[in-house]
Structure 1
Amino acid sequence: MHQPPAVALGIQGVPSTSPRLYNQDLAPTQMAGRRWSAYSIFTLWANDVHSLGNYGFALGLFALGLGAWQILLALGIGAVLLFILLTFSGFMGHKTGVPFPVMSRIAFGIHGAQIPALIRGGVAIVWFGIQTYLASLVLRVLLIALVPGLKDLDGNSILGLSTLGWVTFVFLWIVQVVIVRYGMDMIRKYEAFAGPIILVTMISLAVWMFVQAGGSIAWSTSHSLTGGEMWRTIFAGGALWVSIYATFVLNFCDFTRSSTTRKSIIKGNFWGIPINMLLFGVIVVVLAGAQFKINGTIIASPSDIVQTVPNTILLVAAALALLVLTIAVNLMANFVAPIYALTNLFPRKLNFRRAGLVSAIIGLVILPWNLYNNPVVIVYFLGGLGALLGPLFGVIMADYWLIRRTRIDVPQLYSEVASGSYFYRNGFNVRAIAAFIPAAVISLVIAFVPVLEPLSAFSWFFGAGLGAVLYFALADRKRTFRDVSGEPIAVPSVH
């Protein structure tokens, strides 16, 4: 028999709760402590969608030869798919109240969950350092604009970074560490503060560029794509837009575990994804089209425009907004995941605050500016890890929605009892791993083999689909257990 949930979760002396699997930060979020409203989720997307990296991607579509309506269509296709994927992923967090590493125990086993958690955390921790470095570049531009003499500190190199570069990087590093030390609720508050600032700044920048271009824009470049190539690029753009969020669709439960209702997830996602992404697309079209009309060049990032703002006060305001944005994106996309991954790895030693400091230290000592400037690292290491996220998502979603049909015995996620629902074989679900490996290999082949380059944009979909199909085929649904409500449901066999 299962112990009652109140007894089985985290009370000293209860043998079924393992200290190797449980601490207060990994415990399910209780309904009384949930504070992420629809607005909280909306501002999360208001920040992340308008990140400088996303603008660089969308502006690249303009450079490839897509016109205004084609860019909006590509982003729209991706937005619809993301709304569906993120909503279903978010529901998982709301129902169980657990973070991603604990959620992974359902499909991969109580110890096998380290595989998806560390892959997701590894991708994030490198990008945390890189994004902090990119933010420091904006801060350097800002400081030099205010104090031109500081440019003298920007010409030397200490481990690949100038003196001014080190000062700005360490300053932003400290700011993020301080915010994270106050936990997820402080991150929620920061996102709510940053969201409106970003939206107002980006809309204002688009309006300013529209006026600078004389009230009209170029709707495309002189080498616009047509026919089959145009449609392939549109669908590839939509697929890549989904791939950009491959990290978030995997661990969105880290945030929705604190959502107030399922309706708050739907509402926050609706305004934050399709509606907000449509606004993002319009801003991209205006910025790219206005700049192209003015001098025939294609910008790579909104920061390129900010540096040309003639008024120092406006330049400072815009640069500060970009800093607020980059920190907001970094906190939610690249800081939370490795914190939970490390906490899951060492629950007796690390909590949210300590794991945040460890993550930040790793993000510093890897000297991320050197990694960012090395194309091999970006393409093969980070790209390779990213290609693994699709198969992980496929296995986890198939297990939760198709095999278990959303019925989870949450207390058993923290138990090392051999007869436990998620113990499988010594804590590892070999069926999930067996489904993940071939799906991951095929995803990597599609992503990197030159002859398959036309399909590379769709590698996440191939990986996720194959992972789901293989796991569904391999899972043994004969064995049953009783969930916390006492209802018998089918789960994969431990054999």
Structure 2
Amino acid sequence: MSNPKTSPAAPSPTLPANLSARLYNADLAPTKLVGRKWTGYSIFTLWANDVHSLGNYAFAVGLFALGLGGWQILLALGIGAGLLFLLLNLSGYMGFKTGVPFPVMCRISLGIHGAQIGALLRGGVAIVWFGIQTFLASVVFRVLLIALAPSLQSLDNNSFLGLSTLGWITFLALWVVQLTIVSFGMDMIRRYEAFAGPVILVTMVALAVWMFFQAGGSIALSTDRGLEGAEMWRTILGGGALWVAIYGTFVLNFCDFTRSSVSRRSITTGNFWGLPVNMLGFGVIVVVLAGAQFKIDGTIIETPSEIVATIPNTLLLVLACLALLILTVAVNLMANFVAPVYALTNLFPRTLNFRRAAMVSAVIGLVILPWNLYNSPAVIVYFLGGLGALLGPLFGLIMADYWLLRRAQINVPDLYTENAAGTYFYRSGVNPKALAALVPAAAVSLLVAFLPALTPAASFTWFIGAALAAAIYWLIADRQASYSDVSGESIAVASQH
């Protein structure tokens, strides 16, 4: 992929004819087959970081608090991991074959201009979570700094726009670090993820072993309110479904990463070790941490950061905090920074390249004062929850169009042209039948997510929305005799000149 430090914001004069400056720049161009660098290990380290995020630990420990025991938690996570392995392979293969990022991928089903809907929906969710995750990391950073220099506690007692002086210092420091990494492009993100993955795995395993011995060499495998019968199975299946929904954002824009994969096998291999294998290892760590803490004092932790805060040795406390910071930055980069960067680049290709879009994304993530959003249950539940409920229908639509209707036959150059005869021009650049499938499926998803009467089905909102959008689109979409399978290699080659 082109280097965002040097890539132009407008098309090169040597580009093939008919490419539109409103649809193309070097960062949106399909990647060349030669020079791709994302191996199976690169994909694995994405999951090594993301699976072990603090938010995921809070979710999995929540299953323990609901009354699921050790094997039941592992089964719930295993069901989710198996489904994610399938879904992310489908999504990842799309990126490998076409070489295009997610906003351009959306043009296939939504149209060259309608694609902005999907890109901005995914990017909008991510940009808010980027700010929130940076704030949560800054809380850990504050603990670390106060452990090293207790006198800094005095800077943590005031408030300006919702943050203390120390809070602003730590937030802005992490904000700058993340922006610096992203400004060097996707290859620098790949390198950071490759560095962070082993650090996180070793830290979490060490933390679990330490807690196991703190609990006297045994753990509680469940709380006092163990679930049984139908309620147990409903919670297990619901937990597996919610585990998939947590990754509902990532299954959409996984092609942002796999567009630089060296082979389909690298995607499959990285996903296998990073999803079912790594997720089951994650489940074991969750059971040990939660079970050990429950045995020690009868309480249930919310995240590993609570355990880290109790480490009596200052050096070990600092090292554990550093590992959590490395983890949170890694998760934020892959899950919450790349998507809005590509969404903004797609929206303004003539003025924004990867680096400039990263700066705009970071500034938005700052000015929304994300700590205030995080402290507002209404924002989390209704705004972010509502947007999240729309991602299932969007995924179902894209998958049905690409795999079922087109059978992976894509005319990549037509993704960058405004020619009315282009494959993806549809009606003025928008596919009305895609919207006709997306809107009712999204409405049903929102109803299932928020209506109290439908609460028992709420865990399955993502699947309901995805299946409904796919089914509607399959029924109403135009059937063409054949679809063109045209590579974008010529565009990728020209974009390097």
SS in 1 for 2:462: helix
* Cα offset, 1:64, TM superposition: 0.6
Within the candidate set 50, 56, 59, 1:57 is matched to 59
- 1:199-239 Cα deviation digits (max 9, x unpaired): 00000000000000000000000011111111100000000
1:368 and 2:381 correspond: no
Whole-Å separation in 1 of the counterparts to 2:36 and 2:387: 32
Task: Write the mapping of 1:292-331 to structure 2, written as runs, cut at 5 A.
Answer: 292-331=294-333
Whole-Å separation in 2 of the counterparts to 1:391 and 1:15: 35
Structure-1 residue corresponding to 2:462 = 460
Structure 2 unaligned runs (5+)?
1-10, 488-497
Structure-1 residue corresponding to 2:34 = 32
Partner AA of 2:85 in structure 1: F
- 1:419-453 Cα deviation digits (max 9, x unpaired): 00000000000000110000000001000000100
1:20 and 1:346 in contact (8 A); partners too: yes
* Cα offset, 1:31, TM superposition: 1.0
SS in 2 for 1:53: helix
Structure-2 residue corresponding to 1:435 = 437
Structure-1 residue corresponding to 2:476 = 474
- 1:330-388 Cα deviation digits (max 9, x unpaired): 00000000000000000000000000000000000000000000000000000000000
SS in 1 for 2:249: helix
Structure-2 residue corresponding to 1:141 = 143
Structure having greater relative contact order (Cα 8 Å, sep ≥ 6): 2
Whole-Å separation in 2 of the counterparts to 1:364 and 1:13: 37
Within the candidate set 196, 202, 209, 2:198 is matched to 196
1:408 and 2:425 correspond: no
Task: Write the mapping of 1:25-424 to structure 2, written as runs, cut at 5 A.
Answer: 25-424=27-426
- 1:100-145 Cα deviation digits (max 9, x unpaired): 0000000000000000000000000000000000000000000001
Structure-2 residue corresponding to 1:450 = 452
Structure 1 unaligned runs (5+)?
1-8, 486-495
Whole-Å separation in 1 of the counterparts to 2:484 and 2:86: 29
Whole-Å separation in 1 of the counterparts to 2:16 and 2:311: 63
* Cα offset, 1:33, TM superposition: 2.2
SS in 2 for 1:473: helix
* Cα offset, 1:483, TM superposition: 3.1
Whole-Å separation in 2 of the counterparts to 1:55 and 1:11: 50
2:406 and 2:483 in contact (8 A); partners too: no
Whole-Å separation in 2 of the counterparts to 1:151 and 1:48: 31
- 1:48-68 Cα deviation digits (max 9, x unpaired): 000000000000000011000
TM-score (norm 2): 0.95
Whole-Å separation in 1 of the counterparts to 2:194 and 2:484: 40
* Cα offset, 1:32, TM superposition: 1.1
* Cα offset, 1:278, TM superposition: 0.5
1:10 and 1:17 in contact (8 A); partners too: no
Whole-Å separation in 1 of the counterparts to 2:224 and 2:15: 72
SS in 2 for 1:246: coil
SS in 2 for 1:421: coil
Whole-Å separation in 2 of the counterparts to 1:146 and 1:388: 44
2:183 and 2:358 in contact (8 A); partners too: yes
Partner AA of 1:352 in structure 2: F
Task: Write the mapping of 1:477-488 to structure 2, written as runs, cut at 5 A.
Answer: 477-478=479-480, 480-484=482-486
Partner AA of 1:344 in structure 2: N
Structure-2 residue corresponding to 1:491 = none
Task: Write the mapping of 1:2-13 to structure 2, written as runs, cut at 5 A.
Answer: 12=14
Whole-Å separation in 2 of the counterparts to 1:362 and 1:183: 19
Whole-Å separation in 1 of the counterparts to 2:157 and 2:206: 33
Whole-Å separation in 2 of the counterparts to 1:31 and 1:233: 44
* Cα offset, 1:46, TM superposition: 0.1
Partner AA of 1:464 in structure 2: A
Give the root-mean-square deviation of aligned CA atoms: 1.0
SS in 1 for 2:34: helix
Distance 1:463-1:172 versus aligned 2 partners, 3 A rule: same
1:391 and 1:439 in contact (8 A); partners too: yes
Deviates more, 1:475-484 or 1:167-176: 475-484
SS in 2 for 1:349: coil
1:390 and 1:461 in contact (8 A); partners too: yes
TM-score (norm 1): 0.95
Whole-Å separation in 2 of the counterparts to 1:315 and 1:281: 23
SS in 2 for 1:355: helix
Q: Identity percentage over the alignment?
A: 73
SS in 1 for 2:453: helix
Whole-Å separation in 2 of the counterparts to 1:482 and 1:397: 17
Partner AA of 1:197 in structure 2: V
Whole-Å separation in 1 of the counterparts to 2:480 and 2:314: 69
Within the candidate set 21, 24, 34, 1:22 is matched to 24
Whole-Å separation in 1 of the counterparts to 2:134 and 2:486: 43
- What is the number of equivalent residue pairs in this alignment? 477
